[in-house]
Each structure stands twice: as structure tokens, then as C-alpha cells.
Amino acid sequence: MRIGILANVRKPQTKMLTLKLIKWLVDRGHQAIICQNLVPIIGQKKLARDENRFRQESDLVVAIGGDGTILAAARVVGLQGVPILGVNLGTLGFLAEVNPDNLFVAMEKVAAGSYEIEERMLVKARVGKRDRWVYALNDFVIDKGGFSRVIELHVSISGIFVGSYKADGLIISTPTGSTAYALSAGGPIVNPKMKALITTPICPHSLAVRPLIIDIDELLMVEIYSDHEGATLTIDGQMGRRIRSGDVVTAAVAHRTVKLVRVDSKSFYEILRTKLKWGIKPTVEE
């Protein structure tokens, strides 16, 4: 089995854990492949591949870091259908279910084929009609940028005008992204097995403006007006581009999905309770 390793080089645990994983794979007859950015940290230059070869030669990718690293892995290999196993070195980690302590137990299950594939929907968006579609696993964020002045947003769904409002921005998220930035902005938590788009305004200057959940067959169009040139469209919090006043952002559910490897049978609601530290289940008195 050819296992690709993609890791957050800024995490202090990355070097030791990656070297242990490489040794574990080699000792068991598997092929280890690493992204080139790991070479300055761990060496192993012979195992390194550029981004194109990395996605072509990996049967499965282990993403070591946190949810941000999984988002990066989704961008590198996810669109090609390569399964991703997330290892959480961060704090919350909704996407990365494996901890460093149980990594090799998880890898034993992967090697034995004892795992499930969970497909997560993607959202696609473009600026204008001629721009190419880009994809996000979590969200697209329309943001006013570094200026203190708000931007004006004109929202339409499937050609029907919904409304105009002023705000710091708008989050267009998938159910997977509902527990990310959208959650902190007051958006709903949506089970990632569902297929829908969620729009969550960022600090709207009207109490009447609320998040919306949009059907998968509907097309979202957001026209942006700003009196400054600082507005941006950010993709999964990792890539972005400048938006000009008058630009129209179009978003829709993509037909592509990202495959996440699951070695644990925990339900989404159990993960929610654990990660968000919700109340303990009450005991029943006899």
C-alpha cells in the first residue's frame, strides 16, 4: 500500500511522529511518500514527491496536524478521490479523529482494510461568469478585509432576490464547515451527512438578517458593493483573492466529494458532545 504523508511543519510533534510513521510503514512492507515541504524538517529526500506526483502515487494520505491540515490535504488530493486519514495535533479537531496516541492502532485497521469511507460534500464558487470554479470543503468567506467599513451584500437564490444588507461579510459553508467559522458567527450546526449550503452573515447591521440553509439544487449569487478595495474571498481559510466592488460571487453544491477515512464508530453527535464539551449524560435514578 502506498501511503502519502502530509503534515503541518509548524507543529512540534510533527517530526517525531512522521519519522515513526515512516518506520512503521517500511517495517510492514508499505511504501511511504512525503510532501516536499517535509524534507527540511525530517530529511528523507528519497521519499519526497512534488504535489502532482504525490497525488498520483498515494493510495491513501495521512494528514498530520489538525483540521487545517486536512483542508490542505483535501485541496492537494481530495478532488482526485484519494482517501484522507486525519491525525489531530491541534485542539478541537472535528475532522481529524485520530490522536497521536492511537495512530498506530488506527494504521493497523487501515492496513487490514478495517475502516469506512465517509464522503463529505464540497461547495464550489467563482467570481464573475468567466472565472474558473474553485472548491472548498469547509467554506468560502466574503470578508470586508482590514478596513473598519462594512460592505453591502445583495443576495439572490436561484434567480430570486432574497435581500440586501450591510455586514462585515458572509460565510458560505458546507455542513462540514458548519462547525468551523460559521459556528462562531452564530450559524447552525448541520450534520455533515446532509447536503445543503449554509449562509451565515458576519456581524450584519440588522437584527432581521439570519443564517439560511439552502437546498443542494439551488444557486446562490452574492453581489458585493464596497467603498474600499480591501474585500476578499477566502477559500477554506487558506487561499484567497481580492474582490472588487460590483463583483458577483456564485456558489453551488459541487458534484465532487472528499473521502475521509473513519476507523472509529463514534457518531457525529458524540463527537459534538466531546469536542464542544457539552453536558454529561445524566444518570437515571433507580
pLDDT digits (tens, 9 = 90+) for 59-88: 999 999 989 999 999 999 988 999 999 999
Residue in the block written with cell 483540521: 67
Sheet containing 139-143: give its strands across.
212-214, 197-202, 169-173, 139-143, 232-235, 239-242
- CATH code of the domain containing 41: 3.40.50.10330
pLDDT reported for residue 94? 83
* Number of domains, the chain: 2
pLDDT reported for residue 87? 95
pLDDT reported for residue 130? 81
Query: What number of CA atoms fall less than 13 Å from residue 97's CA on the CB side?
Result: 20
pTM for this entry: 0.91
pLDDT reported for residue 125? 97
Residue in the block written with cell 478532488: 79
pLDDT reported for residue 104? 96
**Is residue 133 domain-shared with residue 251, that is, in the same domain?**
yes
Mean pLDDT of 137-147: 91
Could you give the CA distance from residue 203 to residue 47 in angstroms, rounded to a whole number?
A: 47
Range of the domain at 57: 2-115+263-275
- CATH code of the domain containing 149: 2.60.200.30
Mean pLDDT of 134-160: 93
**Is residue 136 domain-shared with residue 190, that is, in the same domain?**
yes
pLDDT reported for residue 285? 58
Q: Is residue 239 part of a domain?
A: yes
Could you give the CA distance from residue 17 to residue 106 in angstroms, rounded to a whole number?
A: 14
Q: Between β-strands 169-173 and 220-225, what pairing exists: parallel, antiparallel or unpaired?
A: unpaired
Mean pLDDT of 151-167: 96
**Is residue 134 domain-shared with residue 75, that is, in the same domain?**
no
Give long-range contacts, CB 8 A cutoff, 24+ apart: 14-19.
Answer: 14/38, 14/41, 14/64, 14/65, 14/89, 15/41, 15/42, 17/64, 17/87, 17/89, 17/100, 17/103, 18/42, 18/64, 19/44
Are the CB atoms for 64 and 89 separated by under 8 Å?
Answer: yes
* Catalytic-role residue among 27, 59, 67, 236: 67
pLDDT reported for residue 228? 80
Per-residue pLDDT tens for 178-227? 999 999 999 999 999 999 999 999 999 988 899 999 999 999 999 999 88
**Is residue 171 domain-shared with residue 96, that is, in the same domain?**
no
Give the number of other CB atoms < 10 A from CB of residue 229.
11
Are the CB atoms for 199 and 123 separated by under 8 Å?
Answer: no
Question: Is a pLDDT exceeding 60 seen at residue 286?
Answer: no
Q: Is residue 11 part of a domain?
A: yes
Of 34-38, 159-163, 281-285, the poorest mean pLDDT is in 281-285
What average pLDDT does the chain have?
92
Question: Is a pLDDT exceeding 80 seen at residue 284?
Answer: no
**Is residue 249 domain-shared with residue 269, that is, in the same domain?**
no
**Is residue 138 domain-shared with residue 251, that is, in the same domain?**
yes
Q: Is residue 282 part of a domain?
A: no
Residues 6+ apart with CB under 8 A from 268: 191, 192, 193
Using alpha carbons, list the distances in angstroms from residue 152 to 159, 174, 184, 220: 19, 23, 21, 16
Question: Is a pLDDT exceeding 80 seen at residue 260?
Answer: yes
Q: Is residue 270 part of a domain?
A: yes
**Is residue 111 domain-shared with residue 130, that is, in the same domain?**
no
**Is residue 80 domain-shared with residue 177, that is, in the same domain?**
no
Q: Is residue 281 part of a domain?
A: no
Could you give the CA distance from residue 115 to residue 228 in angstroms, rounded to a whole number?
A: 50
Taking the CA atoms of residue 99, residue 104, residue 108 and residue 113 in that order, the dihedral angle to the nearest 10 degrees is 40
**Is residue 176 domain-shared with residue 199, that is, in the same domain?**
yes
pLDDT reported for residue 229? 79
Q: Is residue 283 part of a domain?
A: no
In the residue annotation, 67 being an active-site residue is answered as yes
- Burial-class residue 265 by CB neighbours within 10 Å (0-12, 13-18, 19+): exposed
Q: Which one has a higher pLDDT value, 109 or 271? A: 109
**Is residue 59 domain-shared with residue 102, that is, in the same domain?**
yes
- Band of the pLDDT at 281, cuts 50, 70, 90? low
**Is residue 14 domain-shared with residue 107, that is, in the same domain?**
yes
Could you give the CA distance from residue 120 to residue 174 in angstroms, rounded to a whole number?
A: 9
Give the number of other CB atoms < 10 A from CB of residue 60.
19
152, β-bridge pairs: 166, 225
pLDDT reported for residue 276? 84
